[in-house]
Structures are given as C-alpha cells and as structure tokens.
Amino acid sequence: GAGVSQTPSNKVTEKGKYVELRCDPISGHTALYWYRQSLGQGPEFLIYFQGTGAADDSGLPNDRFFAVRPEGSVSTLKIQRTERGDSAVYLCASSPSRTGAGLFFGEGSRLTVL
Amino acid sequence: QQQVKQSPQSLIVQKGGIPIINCAYENTAFDYFPWYQQFPGKGPALLIAIRPDVSEKKEGRFTISFNKSAKQFSLHIMDSQPGDSATYFCAASDWSGGSNYKLTFGKGTLLTVNP
C-alpha cells in the first residue's frame, strides 16, 4: 500500500488483558514512530525506531508498554495488563530518515479498555 | 506541563474567510514548527512547517507566521473552503538537537468552514 497501515483499526479489551497493535510503514522508510492520541488532545510521542533498534523510547509511559521492530519494517506495540487510562488512538508514523521532511501518519488503532 | 499552547479550541468561518490559529511555546530549544491537519478517523497529515530562520512561509493557501522573540507562531488559511474543515494541530520539536521527530503537539483547533 501507499501509506502507513495499522491493524487492528479498533480493539476493545478488558482491564488487565494484553494487546498488540501492528504497524506496517511506508516501503523504504527507515524511521518509525509511535504516538498516542487521547480524546481531545494532540498526539504524544511514545517511541522512535531507526532500523531495528529503538533509538528513543523516552515517551513510553511505564514498563507495561513495549515495542519491537525485529526486521526493520513492521513494528508491534505491546501493552501488558491494560488499564482504562490506556484507552486512546495509537498512531504509527514513518519517514524516510530521522531528518526527513515530516512524519507520515497512519489512521491509527483505537484501543478501548473496559 | 503543556509546552505548546494552541488557540482557539474551535473556530467557525464562512467560505472565503481567513481563519487564524495561534500557538505559543515555552521550550527555547524548539526550532522546528510544523502544522498538521487531521480529518475524522484519519491520521494527522503534514501541511506546512517552518524553521526560525524565516518569519513567514507560504505554501498555496496556507501561511505560517513566526515570531521568535515572542515564542509564537500562527497558521493563516487564505480563501478557506468547506473542504478545509478539519482539526489543525501545531507542533514543535528540537531539530538542531537531533530530536525533530519528537513532536510536542498543541491540543488542536476544530475548524469549520461554512459554505
């Protein structure tokens, strides 16, 4: 596809459950980012990958959140022991490089924790 | 601590009007200021961005004005159209420090352009 693809588009889970959110970046983009957007707010930075490694994970709120990008393309955001406060839209973005002209965002995965 | 303050929260204009959205930042390390447009159910899309070496940048109907001393920047949309109705976010990051990707966003402005 031409854009950043995220799955699932919607995920409803119960408090305490484990969830995985997937991001398929634009082909050839080496940099990948996860942001979180709560209702009525702007996106907040979570983590940045350059290739396979997490170059900056300073935005992850706590150790329940983890992300991987094992082959330098697709990334998975993993959330353990979900809490109601984790409910948000999780946005993935990619760019040709860290200093690329802007971030290209996907449509997001809406997570609802009941 | 909200590092980028955006106003107004919502804005309604008539077609052809010039909506203006304002942002103010606190972190003096910020030196990259993009604006993103977001339609319902979609991800944000980059509209236009400015670095502090210029005070104004224009792309099509969109213009950013930047005031470094006041730590403020604004988006103007000329000849606005109903299709411009969306939520607009300003953002800022530290480009020179190598963190241009770590955007701090404002809370957004919901723009409605009436026909």
| Closest-CA distance of chain B to residue A104, Å | 7
**In this complex, do A42 and B45 lie within 8 Å of one another by their Cβ atoms?**
no
Q: Tell me: pLDDT of B1 over 60.
A: no
Please write the tens of the pLDDT for every residue from A24-53. Answer: 999 989 999 999 999 989 999 999 999 899
* Sign of the C-alpha dihedral computed for residues B81, B49, B45 and A40 taken in this order: negative
**Cα Rg of chain B (Å, integer):** 14
Q: Using a CB-CB distance cutoff of 8 angstroms, which residues of chain B are in contact with residue A44?
A: 105
Distance CA B102, CA B99 (A): 5
The CA distance from A45 to A34, in Å, is 6
* Rounded Cα distance, B88 and B75, in Å: 9
On chain A, the residues whose CB falls within 8 A of the CB of B102 are 45, 48, 56, 58-59
Which residues of chain B approach chain A closer than 8 Å at the C-beta? 4, 6, 34, 36, 41-46, 49, 89, 91, 95, 98-108
pLDDT at residue B100 in the model: 82
Mean pLDDT, residues A98-114 taken together: 86
A99 has a pLDDT exceeding 70: no
Please report residues of A whose CB lies closer than 8 A to that of B106: 42
pLDDT for B95 equals: 86
Nearest Cβ partner for A107 among B4, B43, B108:
B43
Q: Quick one: pLDDT at residue A102?
A: 81
pLDDT of amino acid A97: 73
Contact state of B101 with A103 under an 8 Å Cβ cutoff: yes
pLDDT digits (tens, 9 = 90+) for B46-96: 999 999 889 999 999 999 999 999 999 999 999 999 999 999 999 999 988
Q: Nearest CA to CA, how far is A89 from chain B (Å)?
A: 10
Q: Residue-wise over B42-81: b if at least 16 C-beta within 10 A, else e?
A: ebbebbbbbebeeeebeeeebbbbbeeeebebbbbbeebe
In chain B, residues with a C-beta closer than 8 Å to the C-beta of A40 are 107-108
CA angle B35, B39, B41 (to 5 degrees): 125
Of all residues in chain A, the percent with pLDDT exceeding 90 is: 82
Mutate to test the interface with A, among B7, B64, B99, B101 (most CBs of A within 10 A): B101
Could you tell me what percent of chain B has a pLDDT over 90? Answer: 88
Q: What's the rounded mean pLDDT across residues A71-78? A: 95
* Model pLDDT, residue B78: 97
pLDDT value of residue B2 = 62
